[in-house]
Structure 1
């Protein structure tokens, strides 16, 4: 849970700074910071990717996983969820009924708060770092905390930019970070009882490759549909478990 608490703290701090500075943070500084974070994400991705004992496992996990993700259109499902939430809250805003200037102002403030909360919550709580990092952090693995630390820095700067433009609702997205990542950490603490070292290594390596994809997005080199690769995180340890159960040696050189 340490990584989740750190993530919540950085969102809180970043949002507060964003509210204080408004939109005065130059775009070029934001761009340079994101580039630096992208480079660091690539480094961590490569480091984790090398933890595999058999490259075929993360390869199969990614290929099969992304086929599943594309068939399910996970990326579009997430976009639809965001659209549904925004439409629902917009409908609620419209049903309030404006009566005078004060009512209009109050409605605008409420709408801005909701937009900031919903937008930031979706950005902070959907992605490979959220799932992989939170679960591994719940397992007590240093790599999980490391990944959430990277995510914390990313979210800290993102929350600063969001809060500067969308207002105080972004600050309250910390509740979503605590709830969703905390739940994933709890799942990880339970799953960790059944996870062997090879299963963890291959999940970490597969997650590292997904992190490389995320780094490419941050560097604006390529924009893979990262959400569609998420099933690979489940398949990697599952492949190891199945191979072990049927007596296949996944590390032939050992």
Structure 2
């Protein structure tokens, strides 16, 4: 069943959030801060491993770079310019504030930051993109199932460390984004070449690495303003 993978992913995010809400109050503040840093390290490593997969190859027993870094650099720079002009970070913040007000969490100062951080962590990664494409092309949801398990663990830590509800509602952008990608992959299967998928996943992994930095050192990077880099990477793949 096409789209089932995203439904499972959403369910695991909600389940992880509820576990964090149930047990987070029993944790000391120092433990919460340490777990937040651990989450950042985990996300950093996930992003780094994904990027290295497309940046380096072994040829005749030696480690060599691929042609991907040049496309990645162009995509990140052009994407950052587009994102700053549009100021996606501000629009996502506005949406987060709207969700906060609608869900009765107006008094939670950490809500919007937790919502944005969790949403970006779970939407821009290679696993979400590849899993959604696989789901749309063949109905195979195994990658999204694995992603959902990881998301559930990470969101449990986030909820216990970053306020009571912001991270929970990250399932909204996750569901919207992954279902859109799944539908597009199902409709435009001939256009989704292996090169396009690889470049999209490559840049997505770089953005995941940036999310990890923001988890450890909040406010250093306006990650939402880098999101256009993903679409620039796909566009360059088709042009070149």
CA distance in 2, matches of 1:146, 1:61: 28
Do residues 176 (structure 1) and 160 (structure 2) align? no
The one of 209, 219, 223 aligned to 2:220:
223
Q: Report the Cα distance in structure 1 between the residues aligned to 2:34 and 2:189, rounded to whole angstroms.
A: 38
Q: Matched residues in 1 for 2:146 and 2:189: separation?
A: 17
Structural mapping, 1:132-147, within 5 Å: 132=125, 133-140=127-134
2:204 alignment partner, one of 202, 207, 217: 207
* Alignment-derived partner of residue 153 in structure 1: 153
Distance 1:178 1:227 in 2: 14
Q: TM-score, normalised by structure 1?
A: 0.68
Q: Classify 1:79/1:39 alpha carbon distance in 2 versus 1 (closer, same or farther; 3 Å).
A: same
> Is the 8 Å Cα contact of residues 134 and 184 (structure 1) preserved in structure 2?
no
Which one of the candidate residues 9, 14, 33 is aligned to 1:7? 9
- Secondary structure of 1:78's counterpart equals helix
Partner of 2:83: 69
3-state SS of paired residue (1:224): coil
Question: Deviation per CA, 1:6-27, whole angstroms, max 9, x where unpaired?
Answer: 5333333333334433622222
Partner residue, 2:92:
78
Instruction: In structure 2, list runs of 5 or more residues that go unmatched.
Output: 56-65, 136-141
Aligned pairs (5 A) from 1:89-168: 89=102, 111-112=104-105, 122-123=115-116, 126-127=119-120, 129-132=122-125, 133-140=127-134, 149-161=149-161, 165=164
- Sort the Cα spacing of 1:218 and 1:20 in 2 relative to 1 into closer, same or farther, 3 A: closer
Aligned mates of 1:188, 1:124 — CA distance in 2: 25
- Corresponding residue for residue 185 of structure 2: 189
Q: Which of 140-149 and 212-221 deviates more?
A: 140-149
**Unpaired stretches in structure 1, ≥5 consecutive residues:** 90-109, 244-254
1:153 and 1:19, CA in 2 relative to 1: closer, same or farther beyond 3 A? closer
Match of 2:232 in 1: 235
RMSD: 3.7
Alpha-carbon distance, 1:134 to partner: 3.2
Residue-pair matches, total: 217
Say which one has the larger Rg: 1
**Does the CA contact (< 8 Å) of 1:128 and 1:227 recur in 2?**
no
Contact kept? 1:46, 1:208, Cα under 8 Å: yes
- 1:228 shift after superposition: 0.7
